[in-house]
Amino acid sequence: MSSPSPLSSRLPDFPWDRLEPYKATAAAHPDGIVDLSVGTPVDPVPGVVQRALADAADRPGYPTVWGTPALRDAITGWCGRRLGARGLTHGNVLPVVGSKELVAWLPVQLGLGPGDRVAHPRLAYPTYEVGARLAGAEPVVYDSPLELDPAGLRLLWLNSPSNPTGRVLGAAELRETVAWAREHGVLVFSDECYLELGWDAEPVSVLHPDVCGGSHEGVVAVHSLSKRSNLAGYRAAFLAGDASVLGELLTVRKHGGMMVSAPVQAATIAALGDDAHVAAQRERYAARRAALRAALEERGFRIEHSEASLYLWATRDEPCWETVGDLAARGVLVAPGDFYGAAGERCVRVAFTATDERVAEAVRRLAD
């Protein structure tokens, strides 16, 4: 009997491995590396969240996959207050163990496989493609979803604000896409993890009545607390939208034991109930963004899109790896644009998730 082929054979090479030599070059700088390549939070977890986590530490029993009623209340309340979503009940929400886990395994959990197609933006977070390949489905890219061939298309990923470009889709564009997807029986999942980090535009959710018409049919929004609350280490995220879709996912995830830990559920409730720490974090990021943008433009870069999110999408109209190499020689590490698709081959993604001191140091080096 032949052994089954490993799942890894379906996957592309892990892109970040290619950045390691440049990281070593940047780390050799006499004043140390300034790592702007990954959007990982560096600021403290808000005190209100830390206290909630600690107070919930004595939880010896298993948590539930659906989460506590208090957690579901917190999610539906936040979606109504922040997204303008109407009519959400507990059946319209589902906590998940970080949004990357959800993105990677969603096609499998939806029962997709060979013959099915999963669409994502041409410039996109690589895990959308990974999720399709793990399921044996076909990943397809688009510039406009309205130009897609709907034959065999089962899942359409939207991402606004975008990673990596920071582009924001307006309500009219989202509304047209949702209508098209409903007409063709295509399920829409909208990755909105950067929604609270709009700078030059105000991001809107697919759950807003102006987009979905007050109905959640065929649409699900994905949200994470990693960026807005510095909770990347907590793996706290959730889904909101079509109750029939989330009910199916809940059943599958119960069988798989995909449970958010009880202390993290308590921390999520605290984070969603406190807007002050989000406003404070936005101010930190706004200052870092302004400093880096000015320094990059002074250095001859052009900033494209970048209306929202935690990144600047920058270009000097040269191959992205030349830009990565030049900046690494200055001790500044950025992500090459082709990590997010061939269309990014002349751009780099610059995160502003470093400390104030490291951002100031990057600005100094860019000015030399």
Domains of the chain plus CATH, in order, are: 7-44+277-367 (3.90.1150.10), 58-272 (3.40.640.10)
Kindly give the parts of the chain with pLDDT less than 70. Answer: 1-5, 7-8
pLDDT at 16: 79
pLDDT for res 5:
64
Query: What is the model's pLDDT at position 236?
Result: 98
| pLDDT number for residue 2 | 57
How far is residue 293's CA from residue 342's CA, in Å, rounded to a whole number?
24
* Nearest C-alpha neighbor of 310 from the set 234, 235, 232: 232
Query: Hey, what's the torsion of the CAs at 320, 323, 327, 329, to 10 degrees?
Result: 110
Given this model, what pLDDT does residue 4 score? 61
State the pLDDT at residue 9.
72
pTM of the entire predicted model? 0.94
Q: Cβ contacts of residue 221 below 8 Å, gap of 6+?
A: 79, 83, 189, 190, 192, 205, 206, 207, 239, 240, 241
* Predicted pLDDT at 3: 59
